[in-house]
Amino acid sequence: MIKKALLCTCALAAIGGPAAAQDVVRVFNWSDYIDEDILTSFTEDTGIEVIYDVYDSNEVLETRLLAGNSGYDVVVPTASFMARQIEAGVYQPLDRSQVPNAQYAWPEIDERVSRYDPDNTYSINYMWGTTGLGFVQELIDERMDDAPVNSWAIVFDPEIAARFADCGIYWLDAPSEVFPAALAYLGYDGNSTDPDELQAAADLMMAVRPYVRRFHSSEYVSALANGDACLAIGWSGDVLQARDRAAEAENGLTIDYRIPVEGTQMWSDQFAIPADAPDPAAARAFINYIMDPQVNAQAVNYINYASGNLGAQEYIDPEILADPAIYPDEATMDNLFIVDPYDPQTQRLVNRLWTRIKSGQ
Amino acid sequence: MRGGGWGRRTLIAIPYAWLLVLFLAPFLIVLRISLSDFAISQPPYSPVLDLPACFGEADLPAAEGEAPDLLSCLGGWADQFWGLVEEWDFDNYIWLTQDNIYWLSYITSLEIAAVSTLLILLIGYPIAYGMARAPKAWQPTLLMLVILPFWTSFLIRVYAWISILKTEGLLNQFLQGIGLLDEPLVILGTNTAVYIGIVYSYLPFMVLPLYATLVKMDESLLEAAQDLGCTRFTAFWLVTIPLSIPGIVAGSMLVFIPAVGEFVVPDLLGGSETLMIGRTLWTEFFGNRDWPVASAVAIILLLVLVVPIVLFQRHQDRAQEAGR
């Protein structure tokens, strides 16, 4: 028995050895943001091992990047955050001629992102989506008839939000996501940096603060799926993953996602290579692999986000392509806005307001 | 005897070098960052200190001797440092005073740490006392039992409390199962959970020094006290407690100081209302990416802790001298 086991290990070492010794790609991506089978098949196809870590906030990623020597080869920042990170010299140019599958990139998305990454020098889009409302239909219906699930009012109007306090309201723990939403609900520009308007948004949030159970940017996926939460400010694909998990568990919970009528922000998460990446070649190989239309479609079908890959669309589940919560139609698109990064002054103000809101002080 | 002076000096130099490298140098770096401005750059503050350049990472190959280069480089850094101090660039400290969130954090942290220390003392003292009075043959086993939890990672043990305390958790299931409760208790995400977490995590740090003091105590003193007419309780109160004060002080310090800066317990078990300084620091550093303000918060925390400790130490010394 032992002999056999030893033999096996040797054989494995003989096959896996040279490849494993060859290359490693260190990927730092958002949580719940890939079909892990893709990582396995990437290693099988290329012989490059993947070390995969996750985060759930742009702020944490930015802290790591600005501290330097993060040790990652591929990171996935949101484009709006990327703008100032590029200025800080955090990234190296991403040469698309060395990433053949970049030819499948969706020009419209590239165009949209060029506002933050001029000429798409440093990045290529992985997925894009919206920040909106996730909810558990049954739990909402029990507490209110015709609840306005397609309006920010359900989380920002104290009288409505109060009804759902007992079944669990979760908010993303990111001021850059929630402030634009509150501003949009108040009828202001989601991009506003006017201190008075920001203060008004903060006051609004303070009024509904008692009804919020948790500020967290990834827990709401499982919380919605198992009924610990009934309402969440969350990201489109994450909510839809919760929907799939609940359906799989057959626990009688119907989860859905809505883009609020008052408008919300649309964001794009970009593949980028840090300037001090240990192995940029492995990083390009990884990005190239994910940009392969079939692989990319596999990712979309799993995580329910819209991809910046046009070539992938023929392999994507038609139901996903037709779902306006994932690929918004023209009319919904008109209601979406994109946000600019805050200047340091505004950033500080927003951060301080956010700390106050969260602590309820 | 001539060599003795050197040996002694080396021996004393080691702890001082240790303090210099691992305490004073990091402290100066943090102090230095707390005097700079927040910026979106790498690293995220300006002006940046060029310390790596001092240690041979400079682009220019050193033509002259290494040592003077290093010295002048460190000197340059010191000049830069004093430049900042002279400019009175204390904006970050002023920022801290403008917002009571920081003061609230300090005060809540001190309060939670103080109450936890008291609770731990109340729970830990009987445990240590029982251990010290247990038959000699049992003592190694009992000691082992106190240390045993350390074999599991601190983080995992705190995580375990989540599954115990949550609304559908073990504790609520048990209490509802025996019919004591109709509605589940909401503990997770409150300060109560933070207290439970801290008391649980730090209990061994109180029990061990207390046990060490109590086990050394001469039992004949108690017999003498009883011979002189003390009841068991007054003997305990008048003899055992005073003699165990060094253990109480050591244990309380070991618990109180790390509890003030605790981050893991409030983050995992506390709610977003639990303002503790460790968390505020984390938010400032990771959430807001504001290293200068985070450094200022850390410096103040150090002052908040060091000043009372020094005062206490002085008081102890004086009391000791008076006792002689």
Encoded tokens for B313: 């130490």
Calculate how close chain B gets to A282, using CA atoms only, in Å.
24
In chain A, domain spans: 23-128+267-326, 130-265+338-359
pLDDT digits (tens, 9 = 90+) for B225-273: 888 888 888 888 888 899 898 899 889 989 999 999 999 999 889 887 7
Residue A276 touches partner B, C-beta closer than 8 Å: no
Strands (E), B8-85: 37-38, 45-46
**For position A17, what pLDDT does the model report?**
38
Is the confidence at residue A11, as pLDDT, over 70? no
Q: Which among B38, B104, B272 has CB closest to A344?
A: B38
**Once rounded to an integer, what is the mean pLDDT over residues A29-40?**
94
Calculate how close chain A gets to B162, using CA atoms only, in Å.
14
Interior/surface letters A155-193, b for 16+ CB within 10 angstroms, e for the rest? bbbeebbebbbebbbbbbbbbbbbbbbbbbbbebebbbe
**For position B210, what pLDDT does the model report?**
95
Q: How confident is the model at residue A209 (pLDDT cuts 50, 70, 90)?
A: very high
Q: Residue B286: its chain A contacts at CB < 8 A?
A: 59-60, 63
Q: Residue A116: its chain B contacts at CB < 8 A?
A: none
Q: Would you identify the CATH topology of the domain A130-265+338-359? A: D-Maltodextrin-Binding Protein; domain 2 (3.40.190)
Is the confidence at residue B58, as pLDDT, over 60? no
Residues 6+ apart with CB under 8 A from A291: A99, A101, A102, A104, A105, A124, A309
Q: Which helix (H) or strand (E) covers residue A29, if one does?
A: strand A24-30
- In the structure, how many helices (H) and strands (E) does chain B have? 17, 2
Q: Name the CATH superfamily housing domain A23-128+267-326.
A: Periplasmic binding protein-like II (3.40.190.10)
The percentage of chain B sitting over the pLDDT mark of 90, rounded to a whole number, equals 31
The residue in chain B having the minimum alpha-carbon distance to the alpha carbon of residue A345 is B38
- A23-128+267-326 and A130-265+338-359 share one CATH topology? yes
Instruction: Provide the residue type at A228 as one letter.
Output: D
**For position A8, what pLDDT does the model report?**
42
- Sketch out chain B's domains with CATH numbers: 2-91 (no CATH), 94-323 (1.10.3720.10)
Residue pairs spanning A and B at CB distance below 8 A: 69
What's the DSSP call for residue A56?
Answer: S
C-alpha of B210 from chain center: 18
Distance CA B144, CA B131 (A): 11
Calculate how close chain A gets to B254, using CA atoms only, in Å.
28
Residue A352 touches partner B, C-beta closer than 8 Å: yes
**For position B283, what pLDDT does the model report?**
85
Taking a C-beta distance cutoff of 8 angstroms, is the pair A161, A227 a contact?
Answer: no
Q: Residue B101: its chain A contacts at CB < 8 A?
A: 352, 355-356, 359, 361
Residue A66 touches partner B, C-beta closer than 8 Å: yes
Q: Which among A68, A84, A213 has CB closest to B40?
A: A84
The pTM for the full model equals 0.78
Q: Residue B275: its chain A contacts at CB < 8 A?
A: 359, 361
Phi, psi of A74, rounded to the nearest 5 degrees: -130, 130
Which is nearest to B142 in space by CA: B79, B245, B211, B194? Answer: B211
Q: Residue A352: its chain B contacts at CB < 8 A?
A: 99, 101
Residue A210 touches partner B, C-beta closer than 8 Å: no
Task: Answer whether A63 sits within 8 Å of B289, measured CB to CB.
Answer: yes
Task: Answer whether A355 sits within 8 Å of B272, measured CB to CB.
Answer: no
Task: Answer whether A59 sits within 8 Å of B288, measured CB to CB.
Answer: yes
Q: Residue A65: its chain B contacts at CB < 8 A?
A: 42
Residues 6+ apart with CB under 8 A from A168: A213, A214, A223, A228, A229, A230, A231
Residue A59 touches partner B, C-beta closer than 8 Å: yes
Residues β-bridged to residue A131: A235
Residue B312 touches partner A, C-beta closer than 8 Å: no
pLDDT digits (tens, 9 = 90+) for A225-258: 988 899 999 999 999 999 999 999 999 999 999 9
Calculate how close chain B gets to A300, using CA atoms only, in Å.
29
Residues β-bridged to residue A336: A264
Taking a C-beta distance cutoff of 8 angstroms, is the pair B198, B265 a contact?
Answer: yes
Q: Residue B287: its chain A contacts at CB < 8 A?
A: 57, 59-60, 351, 354-355
Q: What is the mean pLDDT of chain A?
A: 90
Cis? peptide before B184, omega within 30° of 0? no
**Once rounded to an integer, what is the mean pLDDT over residues A326-335?**
88
The residue in chain B having the minimum alpha-carbon distance to the alpha carbon of residue A360 is B273
**Which B residues, 81 through 100, put their C-beta within 8 Å of a C-beta on chain A?**
99-100
Distance CA B244, CA B229 (A): 22
Distance CA A291, CA A124 (A): 9
pLDDT digits (tens, 9 = 90+) for B273-284: 788 999 889 888
Q: Which helix (H) or strand (E) covers residue A190, if one does?
A: none
**For position A6, what pLDDT does the model report?**
41
Is the confidence at residue B53, as pLDDT, over 70? no
> How many residues are present in chain A?
361
What's the DSSP call for residue A166?
Answer: G
Selected residue of B33, B107, B286, B295 to mutate for chain A interface (largest A Cβ count, 10 A) = B286
Distance CA B270, CA B275 (A): 9
Alpha helix stretches (DSSP H) within A24-152: 36-46, 58-67, 79-87, 107-113, 137-143
Q: Which among B44, B273, B287 has CB closest to A360?
A: B273
Q: Residue A55: its chain B contacts at CB < 8 A?
A: none
Strands (E), A137-247: 169-171, 212-215, 231-235
Distance CA A93, CA A193 (A): 30
